[in-house]
Structure 1
């Protein structure tokens, strides 16, 4: 088993162009994620989508995103990243077209699964390239730029979606919104073919671990099916538990045979990496679920038009974007403080929902969004840099994929759970309170994991 590697060959001065192309792809996929919450009520009304279809539309993207990450990250480590990057982005674009032209809710759900898979192929190549090209603070800056672009996409997406829905109407508007990322993909694909390094990195002699990939995919799917209203319900959970046990046993056997397992001992045995993954998992799930439940509350509960709902959610994206610009190089103690602020902010919003009348609740939620978004800007990129600092040579794509997989699993679970909670609750205020409580619990777990890691780690 060997994970030694030489740096990816890039022309002089080309690293900046590689970063620019990667940020373009990141913007494309993150814009799609941020814009969906705004169009959900219009889409549901236009296609008469039921609860199960809606949950699959919301959570399916993150599901297939997560399932694609690990094999795509491993293949990028083995054979180079350019073709995977371009192929994933092309698949993402095809899924966007299929979703926007669908006439049934299940078709939109299927198209979102395709989009998620494409995005899951692209994203480990982005972070893997940052890992390949940069070290130390330069890597932190590249990840910070990626987080900044994500903040910009998060800021523009809801506003763009709300504006299009207001101008074009709900019937046509949601279709146009789902096509909003297509121009960015069409521009980024030819640039990637021209700029990204094509050669296979020298010195990499790892293997794919097909048995581990299949067991991981099956376990993940079985764990998420109950939350998406699938036939069989909670009986899938014993299947997930059995699959997890089989996956761990397989990985131990694969490693004992001298092969390169997905669960690399150098990653899973590293305290800093594991805690960083747990932080990312809990906080990512909390923030995505919070944004969704707020959008549903404003549009379904208070009957706000999409543009007004987007404006109230805007402070979160603004705070995240501004904070991300100053977060590069932040150490674990700083991210722990930021998580503490986020937990306090979500708790304050939950108290406002319980204690204040509706007009004042909206202002309190907007203020909480600003604080929570800014705190997230000081958590996201620094946590990625601190966690991926422990990636062994030759496993940059895999380590990034496992990190993102944890986020996407949390996103799928929390989005499916919070949408189910909201649609089943007796009133919109109760639905918001229950959803926010779930998000508060996840953010608190992230804070606990960060506190456990604080004395032990910093970027060298």
Structure 2
């Protein structure tokens, strides 16, 4: 492996490696996992375009909107690890089916909600079902596939998630344009039902039969509660601004909860349990830094998409379909960039992730500046162009970063590394959506201009993305150090071989 993290393939072996194909049973399992991922991951991005319509229909307050959007990510993230552990021990198939059934049924309830609090509860349940489904998908792909096929399957799952995120706004806008805002936002929830039913049928037929283990599930419930409390301590100040004394109190609470989590994880591991966050993962610098990149990218992207949808409709007066068309170039560019990302990674290695994240940060910052100064007429066209560039940037780095992160997961924690990565992303999304939507909604609700509010929110998103660029650079250096140490170790072993041979000969 090179210092950039790319794995060179000798020319003579490239053709042989490229001939490995999924068999018929593997293709069916992959279809189920991709369908489940698309069904549960498109939900949130479709809803973004519907937020203004939903707010008017239910007379929802800013705090309601934040919980409706962020609560889904929070419950999703918290369900991943216990769902994965239960699947490890009891078998994955029926947890997959149960989680998807919950997600599908609650989608019906969400579509019929008449009060904001009812929709908040439904979204929390939807998120829990989606987290249970996705934890089984990650485990199933790792169980069924090995080597190159496993990497390809996980890559396809990651690309599917990226495309679902990018396609959501155009789909939501088209639905609202077709049936109007009053019923359109409800129909966006009902879209989950046919997808969910079809995936349930495929899962019941094609997922491998469950193979329960005799081991105890050994769930780290204390760790899960501490992670949930820490996330809430970070979210709540943005949902209900508490004043300076309250901010200080929440900051102290978050620091104490973080310390308690670290202490408990070490204690639980020493007692022979399986802690929520495996200690080996925190000791791997490339894994930890790559996870930080994924958190910042996912959180800033979701928050930026939500704020853009509100700005286009509330600030510029575009219809839901018009707002969706502004976001459409992002979906197109992301799909194309995701398809060719592996070629770019083969050429430039981990620098691809850094470059993609830099492009994302710059487009967010530029979007905020353009919103401040550009005339109203060309502004949607300029934002659509920036969406094109931003989608290409995320397409290049999203799946690539996940592959690098999971490649550097320690062997003893390989089974939980993917679930931890997803949990971290979802928790980052919950906090980012709460913070950025709160910034935008309160700035406009207090009489501030939509342009200034959007520029401020975009600047914060760009700052978060800039932190991801720094983390990506550090991850590249950590990878290079690990590879150099591995090469030195291999050379030392090789240089000692003649001495050992000489000793054996003289003996």
Query: 1:186, CA displacement in angstroms?
Result: 0.6
Q: 1:328 and 1:101 mapped to 2: Cα distance?
A: 43
Is the CA contact 1:34–1:157 (under 8 Å) kept in the aligned structure 2? yes
Pick one of 72, 77, 82 that aligns with 1:61: 72
Residues 19-57 of structure 1, C-alpha deviations (whole Å, 9 max, x = no match): 110000111012211110111111111111111111111
Query: 1:353, CA displacement in angstroms?
Result: 2.2
Measured on the aligned residues, the alpha-carbon RMSD in Å equals 2.4
**Shift in CA distance, 205/333, structure 1 to aligned 2, threshold 3 Å:** farther
Q: 1:78 and 1:241 mapped to 2: Cα distance?
A: 34
**Shift in CA distance, 136/272, structure 1 to aligned 2, threshold 3 Å:** farther
Residues 393-434 of structure 1, C-alpha deviations (whole Å, 9 max, x = no match): 574452112111111111111111111111122010011101
- 1:267 and 2:281 are equivalent in the alignment: yes
Aligned to 2:408, what secondary structure does the other structure show? coil
Is the radius of gyration larger for structure 1 or structure 2? 2
**Aligned residue number for residue 6 of structure 1:** none
**Aligned residue number for residue 115 of structure 2:** 104
**Shift in CA distance, 79/390, structure 1 to aligned 2, threshold 3 Å:** farther
Give the alignment of 1:130-279 within 5 angstroms.
130-200=141-211, 207-229=218-240, 234=247, 235-279=249-293
Residues 188-217 of structure 1, C-alpha deviations (whole Å, 9 max, x = no match): 112112211233376977732232223223
**Uncovered stretches (5+) of structure 1, i.e. residues with no partner:** 1-10
Single out whichever of 204-213 and 160-169 deviates more from structure 2.
204-213
Normalised by the length of structure 2, the TM-score is 0.83
**Aligned residue number for residue 125 of structure 1:** 136
Q: 2:126 and 2:42 mapped to 1: Cα distance?
A: 13
- 1:430 and 2:452 are equivalent in the alignment: yes
**Aligned residue number for residue 342 of structure 1:** 360
Q: 1:262 and 1:151 mapped to 2: Cα distance?
A: 26
Is the CA contact 2:94–2:210 (under 8 Å) kept in the aligned structure 1? no
Q: 1:206 and 1:84 mapped to 2: Cα distance?
A: 14
**Aligned residue number for residue 36 of structure 1:** 47
**Aligned residue number for residue 416 of structure 2:** 398
Is the CA contact 1:342–1:375 (under 8 Å) kept in the aligned structure 2? yes
Is the CA contact 1:59–1:416 (under 8 Å) kept in the aligned structure 2? yes
**Aligned residue number for residue 374 of structure 1:** 392
Q: 2:167 and 2:128 mapped to 1: Cα distance?
A: 23
Is the CA contact 2:58–2:116 (under 8 Å) kept in the aligned structure 1? yes
Single out whichever of 322-331 and 16-25 deviates more from structure 2.
322-331
Q: 1:208 and 1:265 mapped to 2: Cα distance?
A: 16
Q: 1:221 and 1:447 mapped to 2: Cα distance?
A: 26
Query: 1:74, CA displacement in angstroms?
Result: 2.3
Is the CA contact 1:267–1:399 (under 8 Å) kept in the aligned structure 2? yes
Q: Give the aligned length.
A: 450
Query: 1:138, CA displacement in angstroms?
Result: 3.0
**Aligned residue number for residue 4 of structure 1:** none
